[in-house]
Structure 1
Amino acid sequence: MRYWAAAIQTDLPNPADRQALPERVSLLLERIDQAVLGYAPFGDVRLVVFPEFAHAAPIYPTVEELRDRLAVPLPNEQTDRYLRKARQHGVYIQTGTFLETDPRYPDCVFNTTCLIGPEGLLAKYRKVHPWLPWEVHASPHDLPGYTEPLFPVTATEIGVLGCAICYDWLFPEAIRELAVQGAEVLLRVSAYMDPWGATPPMDWWTLVNRCRALENMAYVVAANQGASLSHYPPFSWPGGSMIVDYDGRILAQADPGPGDKIVVAPLDLGALRAERERRRGHHFLAHRRVEAYTAQRQAAFPAGRLADGPLTLASNDAATQSAKVRLVARPSAETRS
């Protein structure tokens, strides 16, 4: 199977309240039309990925303010609009993130992206690694008794898709969770700011996307926020949205810098599957020695912390400090030997 994917980055003013959401979704639906129809002479765009905060950024510092002004339940009438567009064009849409409320967790706001295809709303992914200390979104990891999959993958007619959000991608373990469940196309919904974005000398954005692709033998479709400083202060957002193949080769990338941009490239699922089947060398998924990685079984960041109430910047800092204390504890010489 061969089709085209589109990473669509945005440079739009940040909404102050949820009343702006319908107009914002209308603009994003237009971008889907532009990607599908504009590139039709070259290939069938079947997959569209938007950046983190495409609907709204968390401009308020507390959970209460975010919940009162910006957060919405999912699904809702806006995801229904995405569904109609998915059916119109026969595409799969990884939405930009919503700030999500869930009545089961009244003290929480989640940073959530939805995978929507012609069949319906197929998966919700809630960011597991909020960008600490500033983000006070709840991680499902922090909720006692949370039973939904932390890293869902979805089998579709265009391949097995798995998604994670922005800072999640700085943790190889997180993206490997998607790959070992069979993900063939890894989707990055991101708002990665300067100076760590798509511009030298740091350019963590390109480096991480290429590494996650090759180490998991999977395509990466990564949409980054392209907002200017005036739209999403206090940061500027360098865009650089990109598509990478399973050997870490960049197939397409937007020029670094803010702006609304669409980048497209073909994904060849047949070639990927043949490589996974054929290879004996550099088969990173098959050559893992999971029993050897004992350090990964040691707890670091505290789980279940939302039992103590809504998150704050101060509680994020305290949790980080407790995790750092665990890291500096060293095994005894007898244990090491």
Structure 2
Amino acid sequence: MNSQSTCDRFYAAACQVDFPPANNRTDIDRRVSRMLEMIDCAVTGYEPFFDVRLVVFPEFAHAAPVYATASELLSKLALPIPNEHTDRYVAKARQYGIYIQTGTFLETDPLWPGHVFNTTCLIGPDGVLAKYRKVHTWLPWEISTSPHDLPNYDKPLFPAVETEIGRIGAAICYDWLFPEAIRQLAIAGAEILIRVSAYMDPWGTASPMDWWTLVNRTRAIENVAYVVAANQGATLARYPPFSWPGGSMIVDFDGRILAQAEPGPGERIVVGPIDLAALRSARERRRGHAMLAHLRTEAYAAYAHPVFPAGRVARSSISKETNQTDTEEARARLEILHDSLINQSRNTVK
């Protein structure tokens, strides 16, 4: 199939997977083969009805952090990017003229020896277009490195990329519980916000909490952007004590759920429409509910005060214990900030 022409109306596919744990790098190839088959299914199966131009996979699709230390992850599962697997995705993107947001890799980088990143790639017909390294790692359990925590890290933390199918930005799982993180993508111009996720029970798709749906819809509304969210569908037996309930979805810029997989584990492909013409018209036309244009960035004075310690890995390697210690330090900073801002508020009435 030849590369399709530039368009502003197309469909996105959110794919969820249910793989057993990868214990070493040789397990990754089989997973990639299956995900390439899922791309074939999404693109060719729906071709009589519409063009699928964007395909998204979940967090830990290639390998989950099943070992307790970063050194074990580096020796057994981590890979540089690009690699032989991203080459296969590039070939598939070129075959169909599509864009693929990969599931996450555990990434190693010679510039940062001893560190493992939780990384997703945006891949198109021209190659790897962007790498996003998870900024808000899931503490205390996640022992991959946040680029925020590295001294002198000089790459963009929240890259957005111009493509034939619009401006695309991605973030991973826990990142989405920080509206400030996703707002960075929107301010960079992202029209499609991609959530690559392994969001587990009980915060997933089930009532009464259903954080998954709540957060995805809220981020779409507040950033006037489409959300394509792919979640893990792994059963409890795969990665105890967690089960991942799927519920992958596509949400429009007004927060409407356009398509959603039924909650529950297992492979799924869910497809939904992306209408960039409508999105761009809304962003241009709106004088009300124009949240991006109505930002008063200088009013958010509390953000001038750091909370979670930046550059923390200069002090020690990352472990569950250091994650807990740094969280306590962040809480102490937050208490100081609370007191300072409360005192400032009192002074306004004198």
Q: Shared fold by TM > 0.5? A: yes
**1:214 aligned to which of 205, 212, 221:** 221
Q: Which runs of 5+ in 1 are unaligned?
A: none
TM-superposed deviation, 1:310: 2.0
Distance 1:76 1:332 in 2: 48
Distance 1:332 1:156 in 2: 43
Distance 1:221 1:146 in 2: 28
Distance 2:305 2:217 in 1: 28
TM-superposed deviation, 1:309: 3.4
Q: Tell me which residue corresponds to 1:323.
A: 330
Kindly indicate whether residue 339 of structure 2 is the aligned counterpart of residue 335 of structure 1. Answer: no
Counterpart secondary structure, 1:150:
coil
Per-residue CA deviation, residues 164-195 of structure 1 (Å, 9 max, x unaligned), is 00000000000000000100000000000000
Moved more, 312-321 or 327-336: 327-336
Q: Tell me which residue corresponds to 2:312.
A: 305
Q: Tell me which residue corresponds to 2:3.
A: none
Q: Tell me which residue corresponds to 2:278.
A: 271
Flag as ranges the 4+ runs of structure 1 deviating above 6 A: none
Q: Tell me which residue corresponds to 1:239.
A: 246
Q: Structure 1 324/158 Cα, relative in aligned 2: closer, same or farther at 3 Å?
A: same
Kindly indicate whether residue 196 of structure 2 is the aligned counterpart of residue 183 of structure 1. Answer: no
Is this contact kept in 2: 1:107–1:309, CA < 8 A? no
Distance 1:301 1:257 in 2: 34
Distance 1:247 1:101 in 2: 38
Q: Tell me which residue corresponds to 2:263.
A: 256
**2:58 aligned to which of 51, 61, 70:** 51
TM-superposed deviation, 1:21: 1.1
Give 1:135-150 correspondences, 5 Å limit: 135-150=142-157
Per-residue CA deviation, residues 49-94 of structure 1 (Å, 9 max, x unaligned), is 0000001110111001111111111100110000000000111000
Give 1:152-171 correspondences, 5 Å limit: 152-171=159-178
TM-superposed deviation, 1:22: 1.1
Distance 1:334 1:318 in 2: 28
Q: Tell me which residue corresponds to 2:88.
A: 81
The letter of the residue matching 1:229 is L
Q: Tell me which residue corresponds to 2:135.
A: 128
TM-superposed deviation, 1:333: 6.1
Is this contact kept in 2: 1:101–1:108, CA < 8 A? yes
Distance 2:189 2:341 in 1: 39
Q: Tell me which residue corresponds to 1:113.
A: 120
The letter of the residue matching 2:340 is P
TM-superposed deviation, 1:262: 0.4
The letter of the residue matching 1:106 is P
Per-residue CA deviation, residues 1-29 of structure 1 (Å, 9 max, x unaligned), is 10000000001111111111111100110
TM-superposed deviation, 1:232: 2.1
Distance 1:34 1:231 in 2: 25
The letter of the residue matching 2:240 is P
Give 1:86-101 correspondences, 5 Å limit: 86-101=93-108
Counterpart secondary structure, 2:340:
coil
Q: Which runs of 5+ in 2 are unaligned?
A: 1-7
Over aligned residue pairs, what C-alpha RMSD do you find? 0.9
Distance 1:332 1:51 in 2: 39
Is this contact kept in 2: 1:5–1:46, CA < 8 A? yes
The letter of the residue matching 2:185 is L
TM-score normalised to the size of structure 1? 0.99
Distance 1:331 1:57 in 2: 41
Counterpart secondary structure, 1:72:
coil
